[in-house]
Each structure stands twice: as C-alpha cells, then as structure tokens.
C-alpha cells in the first residue's frame, strides 16, 4: 500500500503540472487501492485519506459527478476526526473539507453545507499564524464562502467581510506567487457583486482590472483559463449595461466564445459558459436589433438548461434568463406561444426560489412583466390582477436589491394609473406609499453624500407624482409627510446622527453608547470623506486610500443600521428615529408665526399646501402653473444668474426704473412677473395676506418649494411697473418671506429657540464679502454687517469682513454660532449639489464642508446676497 500511495501522490502532482485528467483518474485509482490495503493504524493512513479526498474533489470539479464529491467529503471528515488538536496538518484538512462543503452547497443549494464550510474556514484561519505562507490562501477561501452566503441570503455584511479578507489576501501574496491569479479572481467576483448591489462604478472598474490581471497571469493551457475569460466577460457585459459602450459588449462576446471553445462538452461549467454567452448575445440584440442574436441566445439558453440537472441551484436562474429572451422574442415577433412559454418558465422559477432568497423580488418582477404583456393582449380583470399581484408582492420583500422592489412598486402605479377601471384610489395611494418607503434604501446612508444626492435627484419625479396623488385624495397631512421624505432625505439622515438620545441612554445605556459612537464616526466620515480636503488628499495618496475610506464608511453605515434595528426591537422604541407624523408635531407647529407653504409640481396638477399654525392645511391650486412652465422658469433663472456673473445683488433704490434696453433686467422682470402670476399671487390671495398687509405689521410666510421651483426667488416675485398708469404688486408688499429646507429643520430651529434659557442671546456670525476674486463687487456689505452688529446689541457677533472671511476662520466660527448672516456670493452646482458653495476670499466654502461644520444647536442662516 505504501508504494500505491506514493504512486498516487506522484500522479496527482503530474496532473497539477500538466492538467491532464487521465493522470488524476490514475492517481485516484492508486489511492483507493492503497486505502483498501492499508490498516487503519498505519502511520500514513491519515495522509492517504487526505490526499484521496483532495483528488476526488478535483475530479468532481472537472467532471461534476456528485458521487466523487460525496466520497471526498466522507474521506475528509474521517481524516479530520482522526487528526488530533494541535496537529500541523489540521488547518489544511479543515480547509480541504470546507472547499468540498462549499462545492456541495453550490451543487445542491443546502445552506447548512455553506455554514459548516464557513465555520471550518474560520477555524483553519485562526489556527494559521499571521506570517504563515498559507494564510493568504485561507483568507481567500473564507472570502469565497462569505461571498456565496451573500449571494444566497443577501446580507451586505457578508459581502463587505469577503472583500476585506480578499484585499488582505491579495496584499499578502507576492506578484509572482502561483495563487495570485486565483486570489485576484475571488476578489474581483466580490467587487462585481458589490457593484450589482450598490451600483458604485468604481467597484466594477476595479473588478475588471483584477480580472484582466488574473487572466493575463493564467497560462493558455491552464484549466482555470476558461473560467477567468468567462468572469472577465461578465464584468465587461455589466459595464456595457451601465455605460453603453458597444466595444465592451463585443469584447465580452469574444471572451465568452473563447471560454466555451476551451470548455469540454462534458465539463460541469459548460452550462454556465453557454448561459453567459447567451446573456451577452441577448444584450446585443437589444442594442442592435439583429434577430439572429436573439435566436442564438435562445438556442444557447435552452442548451444550457438541458445540461443543468433538475436539482441544481443554478437551474432557476437559467430558466429565468430563458424566459426573458422568450418574452423579448414575443415583443419583437408577436408570437403568443413565446409569451406563454415565458410565463410558464417564470412561474416555475418562482416555485424553485425559496422564500427569503434575495433574488425572489427580481423573479416576481419579471413574472409580473410577462403577465402584464398577457393582460395587454386580453384586457381582463383576471389578467390585470395576476400581473398586479406579482408586482405588489415583489415590492414587499425586505431582502435583495431594493432597485427591483422600487421597479415593482412603480409598475403598480403605472398599471393603476393607465387602467384605473381595474383598480382603486386606495390601491394607487398604497402603491405610491410603497415607492416612498423604499427611498431610504435607494438613497442609502452607506453611499457618499454626493451619491445620495444623485440618487435622490433621480427619484424626484416619483415623489412629485406621489404627492400629487395624495393631494388629489385630500390626504394632505400624508402629502406633507411624503414631501419631507422626498425633499430632504439626505439632510434627515445627517440630522438623525445628531439627534439627542437621552431617553434611550436612561433605559438602554449600552445600546445608546454604541449608537453615539457609530453616529459620531459617521458624522466625521460624512464630512471628511467627501470634502475638497479629502479629494486633495486622495489625489496625493491614490485610489487605494479613497477605496479604504469608502469601505470604512459603508461598514459604519451597516453597523449603524444594525444598532438601530436592535434599538427598535426594545419596548417603547419601535419608532425610534423614524420621521414623526404631522399630528405628533402639533405642539411645535402651534408656535409657528405664520404658514409654511409647500409647493409641488407635477404633470397632472401643480399645487401648494399651506400648513397653518393652528394645524390646518389649506390646499391652493395653481392652475396657471404647468410642469413645463416651471422648468422654463428654472432655466430662465439659471440663464439670468450666468449673465449676472454669479448671484446678483440689487443695490438700486426700489423706485429706479428698469432700463428697457437691458436684456438681463428684462429677463429678470418677466420672470418675476411669471413667478407672481403663476405661483405667488394665488397663494398670497388664498391666505388673505393682501388684507392683512393693510392692517399694519406684515405677516410671515415660510416657503418650502420642491422640484423645478426649488431655488427660484419667490421672495422677489411681483410686477415691478413704475409707470403712473399701473400700481406695482410685489410679494414683499404683503408678507415677509423666508425659506426652509424642510418642516423638520424649521421646527427643530424653533424648538432650539424655545429651549434657550432667557435672557440668552444667540451667538451670531456675520460674513461680509464686498470684494471676492473672480466675482462682481457686492457694495455696502461692510455697512450691512455693522448695522446687524448694532441691532444685536445684546450679543457680541463674530464679524468676518473681506480678507478675514477665509474658509478656515468661517468654519471655525460656524461651529460656535447658532445664527449666521452671510453677505457674499454663492452658487449652486446642479450636477453635484455637495459642491454648491459660498464664495469666500480664499476659496469656496462647499456644502460638503459645511455638513460637519455647523453647530449642534444651529437655528438660522440668512443669505442676504445670494
């Protein structure tokens, strides 16, 4: 038996060098015969069993015979049971068993196999010294299993843990090490998955770079070469889907065809290769419209399905892919049989997908799409209900990519809006509510502030539609609450990190301590990770630093949400840090000194809601305002600002006529008239402010506009006609205007003001910038600052004038002041709102820098010049 064992080892090594399966078969034959002949107490028995298990696993990976895998696991478990604690080979044998258990999970889908594999891999890693040469390999194996668990259960923590381990394994592996291609491939797979989940293009670019390097480091005759080609093609296809560059798709198809050619007909991965090639061909059909690409895709998908065992966990995915192509052929050629086959496949996919699987929302959504097509053919209530049910159920899932839940909720709204006779107003409002409730997952706290604003901007039309629907149903409180979510979600997230948690601290001090710690870290991460200073630092230190900071920020966000979940499980804290309802805010609303006016613009209707201090909500229709007109107003305002060299500060007396030949002033004049006629005058009239103005003191109105009217100078609206034949009408003749980003921000400031002990005065910062390099002069700002200082005679304001108003000094003062008066230029950056800024003497003070610079008890900001 000793000679047989030695021969088996020699043949196995020859297989690893030459990749010829005949050597592996002969090695297994020799090892099995040696095992039969060798007594259990033989000193070489354990090593022989270990070698046999490894050889059987390799043959399973190449031939896919489940019997080999089961025999490998049996041998490896026996080996491990007979290996004493402290034995130097125990970590290796734990790792071998874990690899086989993970393969059985991938083949049969039993999550218990994967959990057992992860447990064994963690133990193997714990038994491996930091400087051991096998440590990178064991880190990579654990990461691969964590990635598999993420794909099965959808827990983002597993994916982040996998990437962290993979990056460490990569950094510990020399460039010329034979394991480096495999470790790079494992890392790239997880980065690709994170791109699919979070949509960060940087992850996809890094995945492609790692996959290309792994491919280049893998010899042409290596058995892993087809896999490396196929993996690279998958990421190139994803980049095509994201960026639309056809050369990425062509390169993906070329790599997938080569991978197919290099994969033997009987190889267990051949169905996967065919499925990937088919997906790319389908995409090329969608892009170029060549029906032959779709036909080839369907043929490849059917072949991949035929080669996939009935009990294989990848069978549902391949069925779903085939259904998508059949549906596409139906849409192109109109053959109802294709649609029926697609629906049948989609239903089978759903039956094969267990509850709690992260792909279930996606699969329900696709079934809904096919059923909607069937409804559009027959137009019956039964068919409508079938499609609507799938979309509705898909929107309810808490796991998986939230994008598909959002798409499903949108599909519900679309169906109900297009076919109102088949639904009801209640169902439509419920569908709109589902959309809004998904927003915090789309605008995730783990994204950068810039990314959150980008995602929030994409959702604006959905918010406006929901609010219009709730206004139309007379659900006005709910409309205002959804405005809060839609208009100021990013600021609400930032503010929540600073909320006092005294009640939690008194009842659950440990949870409160954990929450304070991670909230503070997130505040610091949010204000430093995405500021200009950070950008300068990362330019010097490279992309690696930026990626590490982003990784840390995501981890903090995951920890924060996990702690919040634990807090909300405690009795009395079920709604902890959830947005409060309007009714719960009534005590604070009663202290307002005038109405808060919310303005919503939608293609179906444009409306204002005025929240009065008594808690009533007055609906004011704006019949002369249309969505296109509002967008035109915004465009005209933007052009006016550009023609004025930035923000414009009026310095002429009010009675000075506007020169008729001044195009810039004419633009301003007509825009102010339209603002007055379309928006402001109907609101002033409905609130009765024209009558109040005649009685003496002007009433106060707080504007909170949304969508295209946000940022427009409502406070300057009016008819500025100084001829004797007409009387001017301007908003400031009837009311004092101010703005708020949200009702929450306004009420928070009022509450802080009431909490301030009398006769306490606010700490005030006054910035006066008469001359800013690159901008037009702002006359009289120094005098303005002095006048403010004299009015606030009970306070000692911090006055920063001209060259004293640097970014460093201004941010330092903001941390100490509750009021800020800024008489300086400013500008909006519509592409990247976090880079909107005040123009100070040395450089811009951006929103991203301001996020972490304001005082905890900030109350009021007055922008007199911008």
Q: Supply the pLDDT for residue 761.
A: 73
Specify whether 54 is located in the same domain as 154: yes
* Mean pLDDT confidence for 406-415: 96
Sign of the torsion angle spanned by Cα atoms 336, 340, 342, 346: positive
Q: Are 486 and 459 in contact (CB under 8 A)?
A: yes
> Nearest CA to 158 among 168, 142, 148, 146?
146
Residue 163, CA distances (Å) to 22, 363, 441 in order: 36, 27, 21
Q: What is the pTM of this model?
A: 0.83
Residues 97 and 245 placed together within one structural domain of the fold: no
Long-range contacts of 254-261 (CB under 8 A, 24+ apart): 255/229, 255/230, 256/229, 256/230, 256/280, 258/226, 258/229, 259/226, 259/227, 259/229, 259/230, 259/233, 260/226
Q: How many Cβ atoms from other residues are within 10 Å of residue 153's Cβ?
A: 16
> In terms of residues, how long is the chain?
866
Instruction: State whether 21 and 163 are in the same domain.
Output: yes
Q: What is the pLDDT of residues 182-194, one digit of tens each?
A: 999 999 999 999 9
In a domain, 246, yes or no: yes
pLDDT over threshold 50, residue 64:
yes
d(CA 300, CA 154): 29
CA distances from 565 to 511, 559, 562 (A): 11, 10, 5
**Is 418 a member of any domain?**
no
CB-CB contact of 79 with 85 (8 Å): no
> Do 233 and 257 belong to one domain?
yes
State the Cα–Cα distance between residues 847 and 741, nearest whole angstrom: 14
Burial bucket for residue 170 (CB in 10 Å: 0-12, 13-18, 19+): middle
Average pLDDT value for the chain: 89
**What's the rounded mean pLDDT across residues 445-463?**
88
**Tokens 């797979």 sit on residue:** 189
167: Cβ–Cβ under 8 A, 6 or more apart, which residues?
187
Confidence of residue 537 (pLDDT cuts 50, 70, 90): very low
Any bridge partners for residue 596, and if so which? 611, 702
Residue 334: alpha-carbon gap to chain centroid: 37
Q: Are residues 556 and 633 in the same domain?
A: no
* Torsion sign across C-alpha atoms 115, 116, 120, 123: positive
Strand partners, 609: 598, 619
Choose the final residue of a domain: 744, 769, 789.
744
Q: What is the pLDDT of residue 655?
A: 41
Q: What is the pLDDT of residue 658?
A: 43
Q: Which of 136-140, 436-440, 539-543, 728-732 has the lowest mean pLDDT?
A: 539-543
Taken in order 273, 274, 280, 284, the sign of the CA dihedral is positive
Angle between helices 360-378 and 381-396 (to 10 degrees): 160
Asked if the structure places residue 812 within a domain, the reply is: yes
With tokens 């330019």, the residue in question is: 539
Mean pLDDT of 86-112: 95
Domain range spanning residue 258? 221-313
Among the listed ranges 314-318, 524-528, 578-582, which one has the minimum average pLDDT value? 524-528
Is 327 contained in some domain?
no
Contact predicate 191/217, CB 8 Å: no
486 lies in some domain = no
Same domain, 598 and 645: yes
Q: What average pLDDT does range 703-730 have in this prediction?
A: 80
DSSP, collapsed to helix, strand or coil, labels residue 785 as helix
Query: In this prediction, what percent of the chain has a pLDDT beyond 90?
Result: 65
Domain's final residue, options 265, 283, 313: 313
- What CATH number did the domain enclosing 302 receive? 1.25.40
| Same domain membership, residue 11 and residue 124 | yes
The C-alpha atoms of residue 716 and residue 719 are separated, in whole angstroms, by 10
H-helix segments, 781-850: 781-791, 807-814, 847-850
Q: How confident is the model at residue 373 (pLDDT cuts 50, 70, 90)?
A: very high
Q: Which of 718, 744, 770 is the last residue of a domain?
A: 744
- Tens digit of each residue's pLDDT (9 = 90 or more) over 629-672: 999 998 888 887 777 654 444 433 334 444 444 545 555 677 88
**For position 661, what pLDDT does the model report?**
45
Task: Report the chain's C-alpha Rg in angstroms.
Answer: 33
* pLDDT value of residue 691: 66
Quick one: 793 and 858 in the same domain? yes
Mean pLDDT within 349-372: 94
Share of the chain above pLDDT 70, in %: 92
Number of domains in the chain: 5
Residues 526 and 549 in one domain: yes
764 and 723 inside one domain: no
pLDDT at residue 536 greater than cutoff 90? no
Query: What does the alpha-carbon distance between residue 344 and residue 349 come to, in Å, rounded to a whole number?
Result: 9
| C-alpha to C-alpha distances, 360 to 262, 346, 355, 845, nearest whole angstrom | 33, 11, 7, 46
Same domain, residue pair 739 and 770: no
Region 808-822: mean pLDDT is 90
Place of tokens 């007379």: 474
- Are 179 and 280 in a shared domain? no
| pLDDT band, very low/low/confident/very high, at 851 (cuts 50, 70, 90) | confident
**Cα separation of 641 and 576, whole Å?**
43
CA–CA distance, 500 with 516 (Å, rounded to integer): 9
Model confidence over 224-245: pLDDT tens digits?
Answer: 999 999 999 999 999 999 999 9
* Average pLDDT score over residue span 423-443: 93
Helices vs strands, H then E, count in the chain: 36, 14
Q: pLDDT-based confidence at 865, cuts 50/70/90?
A: low
pLDDT value of position 727: 63
Confirm whether 276 is domain-assigned. yes
**Res 862: pLDDT:** 86
Contacts for 792 with CB less than 8 Å, ≥ 6 apart: 761, 762, 764
- Is a pLDDT exceeding 80 seen at residue 400? no
What's the CATH number where 834 sits?
A: 3.40.50.1460
Residue range 431-458: mean pLDDT, rounded: 90
pLDDT (mean) for 290-312: 96
| Adjacency order of strands within the sheet including 617-621 | 617-621, 606-611, 596-601, 700-705, 736-739
Contact indicator for 794, 757 with CB cutoff of 8 Å? no
Contact in structure between 184 and 192 (CB atoms under 8 Å): no
pLDDT reading at 54 higher than 90? yes
Phi, psi angle pair for 313, to nearest 5°: -65, -15
Helical (H) or strand (E) element with 805: none
Task: Please state, in angstroms and as integers, the Cα–Cα distance from residue 188 to each residue in 143, 159, 219, 336, following that order.
Answer: 11, 12, 19, 41
Collapsed DSSP state (helix, strand, coil) of residue 596? strand
pLDDT digits (tens, 9 = 90+) for 820-831: 999 998 887 767
536 within some domain: yes
Q: Which of 550, 554, 555, 560 is nearest to 528 (CA)?
A: 550
CA 252 to chain centre: 26
Is residue 167, in this structure, part of any structural domain at all?
Answer: yes
């Amino acid at each position: 038996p000793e000679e047989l064992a030695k021969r088996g080892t020699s043949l196995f090594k020859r297989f690893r060098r030459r990749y010829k399966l005949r050597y592996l078969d002969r090695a297994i034959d020799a090892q099995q015969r040696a095992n039969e002949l060798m007594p259990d107490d033989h000193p070489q028995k354990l090593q022989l069993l270990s070698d046999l298990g490894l050889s059987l696993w390799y043959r399973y990976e190449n031939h896919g015979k489940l019997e080999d895998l089961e025999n490998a696991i049996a041998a490896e478990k026996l080996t491990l049971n007979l290996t004493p604690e402290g034995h130097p080979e125990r970590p290796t044998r734990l790792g071998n068993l874990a690899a086989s258990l993970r393969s059985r999970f991938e083949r049969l889908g039993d999550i218990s196999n994967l959990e057992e594999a992860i447990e064994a891999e963690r133990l193997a890693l714990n038994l491996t010294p930091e400087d051991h040469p096998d440590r990178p390999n064991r880190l990579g194996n654990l990461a691969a299993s964590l990635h598999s668990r993420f794909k099965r259960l959808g827990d983002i923590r597993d994916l982040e843990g996998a990437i962290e381990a993979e990056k460490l394994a990569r950094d510990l592996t020399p460039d010329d090490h034979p394991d480096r291609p495999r470790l790079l491939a494992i890392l790239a797979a997880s980065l690709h998955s994170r791109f699919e989940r979070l949509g960060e293009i940087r992850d996809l670019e890094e995945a492609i770079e790692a996959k290309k390097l792994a491919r280049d480091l893998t010899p042409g005759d290596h058995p892993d070469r087809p896999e490396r080609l196929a993996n690279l093609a998958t990421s190139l296809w994803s980049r095509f889907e994201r960026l639309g560059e056809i050369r990425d798709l062509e390169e993906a198809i070329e790599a997938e065809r080569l991978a197919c050619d290099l994969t033997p007909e009987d190889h267990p991965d051949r169905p996967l290769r065919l499925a990937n090639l088919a997906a790319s061909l389908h995409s090329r059909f969608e892009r170029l419209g060549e029906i032959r690409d779709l036909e080839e895709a369907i043929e490849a998908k059917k072949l991949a399905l035929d080669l996939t065992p009935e009990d294989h966990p990848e069978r549902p995915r391949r069925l779903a892919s085939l259904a998508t192509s059949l549906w596409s052929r139906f849409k192109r050629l109109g053959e109802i049989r294709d649609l029926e086959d697609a629906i049948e496949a989609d239903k089978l996919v759903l039956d094969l997908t267990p509850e709690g699987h992260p792909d279930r929302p996606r699969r329900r959504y696709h079934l809904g799409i096919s059923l909607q097509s069937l409804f559009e053919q027959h137009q019956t209530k039964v068919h409508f209900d079938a499609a609507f049910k799938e979309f509705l159920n898909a929107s309810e899932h808490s796991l998986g990519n939230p994008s598909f839940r959002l798409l499903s909720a949108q599909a519900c709204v679309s169906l109900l809006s297009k076919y109102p006779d088949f639904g009801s107003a209640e169902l439509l409002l419920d569908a709109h509510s589902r959309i809004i409730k998904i927003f915090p997952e789309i605008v995730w706290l783990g994204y950068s502030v810039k990314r959150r604003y980008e995602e929030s901007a994409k959702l604006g039309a959905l918010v406006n539609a929901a609010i219009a629907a709730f206004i139309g149903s007379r659900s006005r409180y709910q409309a205002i609450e959804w405005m809060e979510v839609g208009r100021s979600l990013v600021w609400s997230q930032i503010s929540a990190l600073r909320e006092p948690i005294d009640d939690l601290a008194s009842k659950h001090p440990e949870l409160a301590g954990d929450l304070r710690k991670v909230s503070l870290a997130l505040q610091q991460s949010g204000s430093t990770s995405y500021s200009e200073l950070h950008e300068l630092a990362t330019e010097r230190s490279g992309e690696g630093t930026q990626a590490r900071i982003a990784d840390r920020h995501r981890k903090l966000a995951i920890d924060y949400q996990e702690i919040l979940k634990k807090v909300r499980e405690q009795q009395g804290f079920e709604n902890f840090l959830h947005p409060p309802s309007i009714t719960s805010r009534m005590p604070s609303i009663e202290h307002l000194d005038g109405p808060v006016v919310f303005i919503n613009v939608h293609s179906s209707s444009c409306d204002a809601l005025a929240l009065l201090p008594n808690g009533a909500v007055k609906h004011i229709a704006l019949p002369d305002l249309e969505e296109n007109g509002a967008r035109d107003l915004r465009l005209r305002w933007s052009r006016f600002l550009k023609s004025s060299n930035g923000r414009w500060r009026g310095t002429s007396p009010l009675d000075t006529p506007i020169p008729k030949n001044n195009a810039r002033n004419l633009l301003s004049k007509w825009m102010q008239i339209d603002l007055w006629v379309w928006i402001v005058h109907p609101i002033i009239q409905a609130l009765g402010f024209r009558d109040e103005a005649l009685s003496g003191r002007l009433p106060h109105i707080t504007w909170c506009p949304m969508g295209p009217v946000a940022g427009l100078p409502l406070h300057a609206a009016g008819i500025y006609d100084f001829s004797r034949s007409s009387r001017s009408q301007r908003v400031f003749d009837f009311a004092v205007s101010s703005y708020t980003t949200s009702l929450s921000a306004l009420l928070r400031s009022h509450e802080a003001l009431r909490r301030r002990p009398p006769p306490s005065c606010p700490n005030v910062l006054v910035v006066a910038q008469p001359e800013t390099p690159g901008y037009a002069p702002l006359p009289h700002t120094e005098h303005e600052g002095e006048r403010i200082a004299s009015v606030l005679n009970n306070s000692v304001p911090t006055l920063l004038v001209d060259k004293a108003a640097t970014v460093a000094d201004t941010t330092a003062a903001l941390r100490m002041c509750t009021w800020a008066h800024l008489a300086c230029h400013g500008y909006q950056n519509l592409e990247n709102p976090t880079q909107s800024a005040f123009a100070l003497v040395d450089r811009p003070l951006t929103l991203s820098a301001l996020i972490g610079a304001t005082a905890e008890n900030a109350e009021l900001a007055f922008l007199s010049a911008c």
